[in-house]
Homo-oligomer: A and B are copies of this chain.
Amino acid sequence: MLNRVRSAVAHLVSSGGAPPPRPKSPDLPRANSSPTADPPEAPRSPPAKAGRGKAAPEKTAETRASFSRPTFLQLSPGGLRRADDHAGRAVQSPPDTGRRLPWSTGYAEVINAGKSRHNEDQACCEVVYVEGRKNVSGATREPYGGQGLYFYYWGLFDGHAGGGAAEMASRLLHRHIREQLQGLVEILQDPSPPPLCLPSTPGTPGFSDPTHVVGPHSCSSSQKEVTHESLVVGAIENAFQFMDEQMAQEWHGHQVEGGCCALVVVYLLGKVYVANAGDSRAIIVRNNEIIPMSREFTPETERQRLQLLGFLKPELLGGEFTHLEFPRRVQPKELGQKILYRDQNMTGWAYKKIELEDLRFPLVCGEGKKARVMATIGVTRGLGDHNLKVYSSTLPIKPFLSCFPEVQVYDLTQYEHCPDDVLVLGTDGLWDVTSDDEVAATVDRVLSAYEPNDPSRYTALAQALVLGARGTPRDRGWRLPNNKLGSGDDISVFVIPLGGPGSYS
């Protein structure tokens, strides 16, 4: 994530220590397509209070690594060194010889041009089995026949101010999603509407008897209908929050480094859920049409939320910032003049007389990729950043950041997809220099050069997208064919075929 956090964050309170040793035998979750259940090592602490609970740090064998790449790349030590080489910027993809990713998903990545020591993007692609909750004796409840659920999962994590948060999220976020879905396994497989009320203790006698569930018709007359789909959305939202809370804990004695944007896709029971917190992006290219599947969350797009928070909780501004927006920094010599401003309720601009407190730094400033919250961070949603402070200050920035994703749902059964219909996920390294239309053109160009049933076509497409955004070394920089600068950021791309050779069962 190029320039998303000023170099000032080197002053992060937490980043004083030497990097911990890399574990000798990495125990990352399996990254192949085998649909077996992960060992039950995901955090299981139920919320003490809905949405606010703290998951206790997990006692697994995992420790923080100083540098790693997704295990599905199957990199040898030499391959890892090449992936870490800023000069060559070799594009990395899973080997042709290995097991393919689920759905014949294509993936490619490249390291940045030197803006950070390692590639701070991370990725994960998994098939996850969700079994129903176990009761206290360890036996699984099986009221509806005991079938668990599989979900397919893709995640892109764009780290900043260190790679720790992105790496942790790539290892654990899907497990938090599994954890949130566990209590819903039977409900999601039951075609009747979700019960509004459930007995509190799973596994207690009577839970398996559907008549004991307080269903829609046993409650008072005025009530809202809740869909199965909205339960999955709620599960993903809460999983992001638990992941973020877990990062706030000490992690095996080490503070989690930095923060990350998270763009996650879950395929479950016929629907694709795209959850985005940050400035990565997902689009569907279907029959040459572009369907946006995410929105970016930046100081510009979230200005009013940020300003409202600063207005309602001025103590969060520490006397250093003003919640008002100005087109530029106000100068002391301008006191008493009038300047354009925007308050939290406004989308337009008006003039106001400059007063002393307007000389404070604006909470939100800058435009485009240079927009910042508290002059520091350029994304407003994501995971981690618990220790991010304003430069040369103890003022925390985290209260202004949201860990909640926006979730968009796409019903895969509503359209007959062809092998050229794809869902493209990319970190901002791709989108900074590539428009949606250019991506759609590359989709068309690359896929038409391969047989529809050639499973390697999606990897080739991901590579073409990464190469197209990186450019080639020329004139002292990485340049695109039009001689403009390519992206010097880490670039990571998933290409998920929606009607290709993948098996969706």
Contact = CB atoms under 8 A, between A and B. Distances in A.
Interface of A: 47, 49-51, 180, 183, 194, 196-200, 214, 219-220, 222-226, 230-238, 241, 308-309, 312-313, 324, 326-329, 331, 334, 336-343, 345-355, 365-367, 370, 402, 404, 406-407
B230 A349 contact: yes
Contact of A230 (B214, B308, B348, B353): B348
Contact of A51 (B328, B352, B355, B407): B352
When A and B form their complex, which 3 residue pairs have the shortest distance between CB atoms, in order from nearest?
A: A233-B348, A234-B348, A50-B352
B50 A350 contact: yes
Nearest to A365: B222
A367 B366 CA distance: 40
Contact of A334 (B47, B197, B340, B355): B197
B313 A352 contact: no
B224 A348 contact: no
B312 A404 contact: no
Nearest to A50: B352
How many copies of this chain are found per oligomer? 2
Contacts of A200: 336-338, 353-354
Contact of A235 (B237, B347, B348, B406): B348
Nearest to A346: B237
B337 A231 contact: no
Given A47-B352, A200-B337, A234-B342, 15 more contacts: A49-B355, A50-B341, A50-B343, A51-B345, A196-B326, A198-B338, A198-B339, A199-B338, A200-B354, A222-B328, A231-B350, A233-B348, A237-B345, A241-B345, A345-B402
Contacts of A237: 345-348, 350
Nearest to A220: B328
A329 B183 CA distance: 23
Nearest to A357: B49
A194 B233 CA distance: 44
8 contacts: A49-B352, A51-B352, A197-B334, A200-B353, A214-B337, A222-B329, A226-B349, A236-B348
Contact of A194 (B337, B340, B342, B404): B340
A312 to B, nearest CB: 5
A150 to B, nearest CB: 20
A234 B346 contact: yes
Contacts of A337: 197-200, 214
Contacts of A355: 49
A404 B338 contact: no
B312 A351 contact: no
A479 B493 CA distance: 58
Nearest to A225: B327
Contacts of A402: 345
A350 to B, nearest CB: 4
Given A312-B313, A334-B197, A338-B200, A224 B328 contact: yes
A303 to B, nearest CB: 11
A224 B325 CA distance: 10
A222 B367 CA distance: 9
A147 to B, nearest CB: 20
Contacts of A183: 351
B196 A340 contact: yes
Nearest to A237: B346
- Candidate in A238, A334, A336, A340 with the most chain B CB atoms within 10 angstroms: A340
Contacts of A198: 337-339, 351
